[in-house]
Amino acid sequence: MTCILHVAVQTPAHSGVGDLLSYQHTEALAPGTLVRVPLGQREVLGVVWDALPGEPLPAMAQLRPVAGVLAGLAPLDAAWRRLVAFAARYYQRGLGEVALAALPPQLRELGPEQLARRLRRPAAPAQDAPDAPETTETIALSAEQQSVCSQIASQPGPFLLYGSTGSGKTEVYLHSVQAALARDPAAQALVMVPEINLTPQLEARFRARFAPLYGAGSVVSLHSGMTNPQRLASWLAAHSGRARIVLGTRMAVFASLPGLALIVVDEEHDASYKQQEGARYSARDLALWRGREQGAKVILGSATPSLESWHASRPPTPEDPQGGRYLRLHMPSRIGAGALPRLRLVDMAQQPRGAVFSPPLLAAMTERVERGEQCLVLLNRRGFAPVLHCHACGWKSDCPHCSAHQVFHKTDRSLRCHHCGFAQRVPRACPGCGNLDIAPVGRGTEQLEEQLAALLRNVITPARRAARVARIDADTTRAKGALEEQLAQVHAGEVDVLVGTQMVAKGHDFRRITLVAAVQPDGALFSSDFRAPERLFALLMQAAGRAGRDARYMEAQASQPEMWVQTWHPDHALFAALRRHDYPAFAAQQLGERAQAGMPPFAFQALVRADARTQETAQAFLQAAGDAARATPLPGLEQVFIFPPVPLAVQRVANVERAQMLLESTSRTALQRFLAAWQPLLHAERARHKGLVRWLVDVDPQAI
Ligand code: ADP
Ligand code: ZN
Ligand code: ZN
C-alpha cells in the first residue's frame, strides 16, 4: 500500500519551500526514520516527521518516491524531534535546516548500503583521547561537595552550581554522572564545555572514572575539531545507547541521546554556547529546555555565572517568595588550590607616560621569574599593532573591503583584516604620500611578546638561563596540535612568561603560574555593549584562577599568587568587587542597573540584521519591515518595542553593508508570537527588494 510521508529536508535558505516535503513510499515509516529523498536534481538525507495536523494531503500522483531508507538505524525518538522543532520555532529557522544541521555531516552523505557497511564495522577506537590517567579511584568528597551532590540527587533542579575555580565542581559532575548512570542501565549523560581545547583534559578525567565501570567505548566526544568519521562514530554510539557519556561543545546539545538522564553545562556563562550563524541557538538554554522535556536533570556550573542564570537562581525572600526557577548551590572553598590571588591595581595615571608595562608590574614579574615561577600576561588583541599610521598625511592601514583597520602582523610583515581575512604585505612607504616613516599605533600580543622579551633579557632563572617569553593566541595555534605543543612547553617549565589572549585564561590547569596580569582591560568598562563589564569580570576572575592552582607548589615556593590589573580607572566598582573576589556584589550591582534600564534578564531581546550593498538599502529594508508590522498590526506588537535601524559597530565587512534593528519586550511569549507572525512579512519585504538584501533574526542575542 502506497503511503504519504512528511520529510524534513534541508531546503536552501529563503527558498520559500515549507518546512516539510511530501513523498510517497511503499509502506508507512515510523517518524524519526532517516531516508534518502530526491530534492530537485539531487538526492538528500531527510527525517520522516510526524504528520501535520489539518494539512490537506497532496495528490499521491504528484509525489516523488522515497529513494532509500537507512534501515539499520533506529528512528530518532520523539524527544529529539521535539527539541529540533522547538529550536527551529524559537530561533526562527526552518525545521529541516535545524534537523539536518543537528546530524553528523557524514550521515548526510552515506547511502543505505554504505551506512550498513559502516554499522557492521567495529566502532572506531576512541578519538585521539590522551592515554592520560591510570587512576580509577574515587575521591572522598568534601563536606561542601557532599551537600551539593545530595541536593542534586534529591531535588528536581535545574541547578546552578556556583563555585570558584578549583572548588571541585568537576568532581561534583563526575559524582552526579556516576549516580545517574548507576540508577538505570540505559541512562546517559551529556557534559558540555565551551571550548574544543578543553575537551581532551575533561575527556581524560571522565574516561579514567568511567572506562573501568562501563568500558572504553562508554565515553565519547562530539565537537567540530573531530574528523567526519570520528563524529559519525560518536554520534552513532550515542544514538544506539552504547555511549553512556557524551562530552562536547555546543553542538552536542543536539546529540541523539535516548537515555538522557543528566546534562551538565560547565562554564555556563561562556559566550561560545551561543551559535553565531545559521540557527543562532544558545546551547545552554536548549539544555534547560531539553532537560525539562526529557526528564533529565540539568546542572549549570560556573565561578562567574551569567547574570541571567544568577537572577534565575535567586533565593526566595519575603518580597519575592517564589524566588528563581533554578536551585543555586554554592561551593565557596578551593580544594586542590591555595588561596585566590591578591589583586594589585596599577593606576596608569601615576606611571611613566607611554609605559606598556608599569615599573611595579615589571619588577614583580622579574622577581617571579628569578624564583623560577611563571607569569601569564593577558591582552585581548592579536597581532603587533591594530593599525599602521602615516603622521605626514594621515594615511591609515584601512581594509579596502571593511570599515575596519588592517592589523599589522610583524612576524610575517603582513597587514591583515580580522573581519574579512584580507591580507597584504606591509607597504615599504606610505601609499598616500611616499613617506618612509609609517608607524604602528597601539599594541597587540605580538608586540607585548617582543617588548617583554627585551625587558626581561637580563633576567636569569634558577635554571641559570635567560628568561623566555612565549605567546599563545589564534595566530600561533592555527596548525593542528600547535596549542597542545605550546601548552606542553609551558607545563614543562620551558617558558617563564606566557603572553596570550583570553584563550589561555580559560580552564587550563597551570601548576607553576603564580602571577597573572591584565595590561589593558579598560576598553570593556565603557563599551557600548551592555554585557561588556559582565564579560570582563568573568574573564578577570577566570584569569585570576590560573594563578596559584597548586597549593603544594605555592607552599614549597613560599609564594603568594597575585593578579595584576593596569587601569586608568582604579576606582571603578568592577575592580572593587574583583579585589574581594566578590561575584555576588558585582552581580547585584549589575542587575540593579539592568533592572533600572529594563535590560535582560528583565527584558527579552531579538535582533534583525540586514546585509546589503549599501547601508541605505539595508536600513530601508529594516524600516519597511518594521512599518509593515505596525501597519498590520501583528499579534504581540503591543508588548514589543521596535528600535530604529542602526549600522553595526563594524558596519561594512567584505564589501557588505550591515544594519540591525533591536526588538525588546518584557514578555518572552509576546516577542515569540510577534516574531513568528513577522517572518512572512520579512520574506515578502525581501522579495520586494528583489533579493538585494539578506536578513536574519538573532533571538536572545549575545552582542548588541
Ligand atoms: P573545578 O572544576 O571547580 O575547577 P576540580 O573538580 O577540577 O575543580 O577540582 C580542583 C582540584 O581539586 C582537582 O585537582 C581535583 O582533583 C581536586 N579535588 C576535587 N575534589 C576533591 C576532593 N574531594 N578531595 C581531594 N581533591 C579534590
Ligand atoms: Zn603618508
Ligand atoms: Zn576586511
SS3 labels along 67-124: CEECCCCCCCCHHHHHHHHHHHHHCCCCHHHHHHHCCCHHHHHCCHHHHHHHHHCCCC
Handedness of CA 196, 197, 198, 203 (dihedral sign): positive
Question: What is 125-191 written as a DSSP string?
Answer: PPSS--------PPPPPPHHHHHHHHHHHHS---EEEEE-TTSSHHHHHHHHHHHHHHH-TT-EEEE
The protein residue whose alpha carbon is closest to atom 22 in ligand 1 is 141
Cis peptide before 318 (omega within 30 of 0): no
| Total count of domains within the chain | 5
Picking from 552, 570, 596, the residue at the C-terminal end of a domain is 596
Question: Do residues 304 and 347 both lie within one domain?
Answer: no
Q: Which ligand is nearest to the CA of 266?
A: 1
Q: Alpha-carbon distance 228 to 109, whole Å?
A: 11
Grid cell for residue 105: 555531516
Q: Which ligand is nearest to the CA of 402?
A: 3
pLDDT of residue 262: 98
Q: Alpha-carbon distance 507 to 54, whole Å?
A: 51
Whether 125 maps to a domain, the answer reads no
DSSP 39: E
Question: Do residues 10 and 105 both lie within one domain?
Answer: yes
pLDDT of residue 19: 75
Contact 417, 404 (CB under 8 A): yes
Spatial neighbors of 424 by CB under 8 A, at least 6 apart, are 406, 414, 415, 416
Whether 137 maps to a domain, the answer reads no
pLDDT of residue 53: 66
pLDDT of residue 17: 52
Whether 126 maps to a domain, the answer reads no
Positions in the chain short of pLDDT 50: 14, 16, 124-131, 133-134
Question: Do residues 59 and 100 both lie within one domain?
Answer: yes
Contact 281, 87 (CB under 8 A): yes
How big, in percent rounded to 5, are the helix, strand and coil portions of the chain?
Answer: 35, 20, 40
Total residues found in the chain within this entry: 704
pLDDT of residue 133: 47
Q: Smallest Cα–Cα separation from 250: which of 204, 292, 196?
A: 196
Q: Alpha-carbon distance 32 to 18, whole Å?
A: 18
Q: Alpha-carbon distance 659 to 608, whole Å?
A: 8
Q: Which ligand is nearest to the CA of 437?
A: 2
**Which residues lie near ion ligand 3 (Cβ < 5 Å)?**
399, 401-402, 417, 419-420, 422
Amino acid at 305: P
Grid cell for residue 199: 575537551
The CATH number of the domain where 636 resides is what? 3.30.70.100
Ligand 1 center–CA 305 separation, angstroms: 19
Reported as a single tens digit per residue, the pLDDT across 127-159 is 444 448 445 557 789 999 999 999 999 999 899
Question: Do residues 615 and 675 both lie within one domain?
Answer: yes
Phi–psi pair at 121, nearest 5 degrees: -65, 140
Whether 242 maps to a domain, the answer reads yes
Question: Do residues 308 and 378 both lie within one domain?
Answer: no
Ligand 1 center–CA 21 separation, angstroms: 51
Starting at the edge strand found earlier in the chain, the sheet holding 42-49 runs: 20-25, 3-9, 42-49, 34-39, 68-69
CA atoms within 13 A on the CB side of 485: 7
C-alpha 114: how far from its chain's center? 34
Cβ count within 10 A of residue 333: 14
Ligand 1 center–CA 500 separation, angstroms: 26
375 a known binding residue?
no
Question: Do residues 53 and 197 both lie within one domain?
Answer: no
Spatial neighbors of 176 by CB under 8 A, at least 6 apart, are 149, 152, 153, 262, 264, 297, 299
pLDDT of residue 127: 47
Question: Do residues 149 and 296 both lie within one domain?
Answer: yes
Picking from 566, 596, 626, the residue at the C-terminal end of a domain is 596
Contact 415, 408 (CB under 8 A): yes
Predicted structure pTM score? 0.92
pLDDT of residue 83: 97
Amino acid at 420: C
Spatial neighbors of 254 by CB under 8 A, at least 6 apart, are 80, 83, 84, 87, 101, 102, 286
Amino acid at 297: K
Whether 451 maps to a domain, the answer reads yes
The protein residue whose alpha carbon is closest to atom 20 in ligand 1 is 168
Residue that is written with C-alpha cell 618612509 in the block? 436
Whether 130 maps to a domain, the answer reads no
DSSP 211: H
Question: Do residues 203 and 269 both lie within one domain?
Answer: yes
The protein residue whose alpha carbon is closest to atom 5 in ligand 1 is 168
Question: Do residues 326 and 429 both lie within one domain?
Answer: no
Q: Which ligand is nearest to the CA of 421?
A: 3
Task: Ligand 1 pocket test: pick from 146, 170, 202 the residue with the most ligand atoms within 8 Å of its Cβ.
Answer: 170
Contact 223, 234 (CB under 8 A): no
The CATH number of the domain where 112 resides is what? 3.40.1440.60
Q: Number of helices (H) and strands (E) in the chain: give both, helices first.
A: 19, 28
The protein residue whose alpha carbon is closest to atom 8 in ligand 1 is 168
Whether 129 maps to a domain, the answer reads no
pLDDT of residue 618: 96
Spatial neighbors of 174 by CB under 8 A, at least 6 apart, are 205, 206, 209
Q: Alpha-carbon distance 193 to 169, whole Å?
A: 13
The 3-class SS string of 381-439 reads CCCCECEEEECCCCCECECCCCCCECEEECCCCEEECCCCCCEEECCCCCCCCCCCCEE
Question: Do residues 567 and 690 both lie within one domain?
Answer: no
The CATH number of the domain where 460 resides is what? 3.40.50.300
Task: Ligand 1 pocket test: pick from 171, 330, 550 the residue with the most ligand atoms within 8 Å of its Cβ.
Answer: 171
Picking from 596, 615, 630, the residue at the C-terminal end of a domain is 596
**For ligand 1, which residues put their CB under 6 angstroms from it?**
139-142, 145, 163, 165-171, 335-336
> 404-427: b or e for each residue (b if 16 or more CB lie within 10 Å)?
bbbbbbbeeebbbbbbbebeeebe
430 a known binding residue?
yes
Ligand 1 center–CA 267 separation, angstroms: 15
420 a known binding residue?
yes
pLDDT of residue 511: 86
Range of the domain at 411: 386-443
Whether 300 maps to a domain, the answer reads yes
Amino acid at 271: A
Question: Do residues 356 and 493 both lie within one domain?
Answer: yes
417 a known binding residue?
yes
Question: Do residues 372 and 506 both lie within one domain?
Answer: yes
Reported as a single tens digit per residue, the pLDDT across 572-615 is 999 999 999 999 999 999 999 999 999 999 999 999 999 999 99
The protein residue whose alpha carbon is closest to atom 10 in ligand 1 is 166
Ligand 3 center–CA 418 separation, angstroms: 7
